Structure 1
Amino acid sequence: MQAFARLPSTLFNLATLLVTAVLVTACAAPGQTRQDQRQHIDRTEQQVLTELFQLKPDLRNDLARAPGYAVFSNVNVNLLLASASTGYGVAVDNQTRQRTYMKMGELGLGLGFGVKDFRALFLFDSPEVMDRFVNRGWSFGGHADAAVKAQDKGAAISGEVVVDGMRVYQLTESGIALQATLKGTKFWKDPELN
């Protein structure tokens, strides 16, 4: 709290305003109607899966065998001492093909400046884990790191992080397999799209 006391109130107010604007505007999928928003999420899901299958072809079989999966798109903004992350996605039950549209969000403190756009795939190891994720919401209190590969540089892509019965694969906008950072992230059903 002492850091906030030393920060000029104008900068603090600006940071708060920008983080709030990101949270309010970015949490919903683009589109004018609910159907437009669902279609945008469905297209994002297919783009993420296609890209991941190109990077990791054996993932297609893993996804087919899993009880279900979820795909999310997220934007993280870090400005001065505050950061906010908002996104949207869909969870798909492989048994029933039921689609549950969801939101995600994160608030945090920490020095920095920048915007990070990433997409993530969650593969559920059991129907119970998927049910808990979809119906009770989910909060992550830590973060996990995966291997990194940027184009032809770096280590081989493992891209897999196991967290509480889920395997997480994360991509950046440029298709780089990156660390799966889930610290302080909350996932919940989108009441407007379900």
Structure 2
Amino acid sequence: MLRKLTLATFVLATLISVGCTAPGQTREDRRQHIDTTERQVLSELYRLQPDLQGDVSRAPGYAVFSNVNVNLVLASASTGYGVVVNNRTRERTYMKMGEVGVGLGFGVKDFRALFLFDSPEVMQRFVESGWSFGGHADAAAKAQEKGAAVSREVVIDGMRVYQLTESGIALQATLKGTKFWKDPELNYD
């Protein structure tokens, strides 16, 4: 049992250290990848929930994140990257994310998330502080175009989150903490 727990910890630590970076060789490649992912996620969510487009345009800002979640028996971890867009100034802040949790479950899930901010203050606090805590229960199964999982949940402090599962299978119930932070390599001018 100790050997399995050690392996699980190693896998989770590796995911966190490697998975936080968007694919690409240069800063511009990584920014372009994140921008493309943002457009794809918004397009897919608008197709599935057409009213969402108006909500996004009326919000002070939004964020789109891409991440991979791995749950191995008693521990889970997610890593990813994304962008926060200020609808008023069009300023883009590139960010990373990491999440760890404890709870029962098993699976790997690649999903995208859209955060809608209800006020400029909530958006600014997210960019500057970025913490989010909470519990999560999930059951999703999707492979390429087969299966689907779209969920909406209201998150504390003026943020609404929409998740779009890209691929994977997961059955989990976890308590977890998530940290979002500015990507120092991609936020330059």
C-alpha separation in 2, matches of 1:144 and 1:76:
13
Aligned residues: 175
For 1:86 and 1:166, the matched residues in 2 are separated by 20
Of structures 1 and 2, the one scoring higher in RCO (CA 8 A, sep 6+) is 2
Residue segments in structure 1 that go unaligned for 5+ positions in a row = 1-6, 175-180
Residue 117 of structure 1: CA displacement? 1.1
| TM-score, length-scaled by structure 1 | 0.81
Distance change (3 Å), C-alpha of 1:108 and 1:163:
same
1:49-64 superposed matches below 5 A: 49-64=42-57
SS of equivalent to 1:47: helix
**Rg larger in 1 or in 2?**
1
Pick one of 100, 113, 118 that aligns with 1:107.
100
Q: Which residue of 1 aligns with 2:4?
A: 11
Higher strand share: 2
The percent of aligned pairs where both chains have the same amino acid is 73
Residues 78, 162 of structure 1: alpha-carbon distance in 2 compared, 3 angstrom cutoff:
closer
C-alpha RMSD of the superposition: 2.6
CA distance in 2, matches of 1:134, 1:46: 20
Partner of residue 157 from structure 2, selected from 147, 164, 167: 164
**Which residue identity lines up with residue 99 of structure 1 in the other structure?**
R
Q: CA deviation at 1:107?
A: 1.2
User: 2:32: which partner in 1?
Assistant: 39
| Aligned AA (1:132) | R
- Return the alpha-carbon distance in structure 2 between the equivalents of residues 29 and 112 of structure 1: 27
Partner amino acid, structure 1, of 2:50: P
Moved more, 182-191 or 56-65: 182-191
Deviation (angstroms), 1:163: 2.9
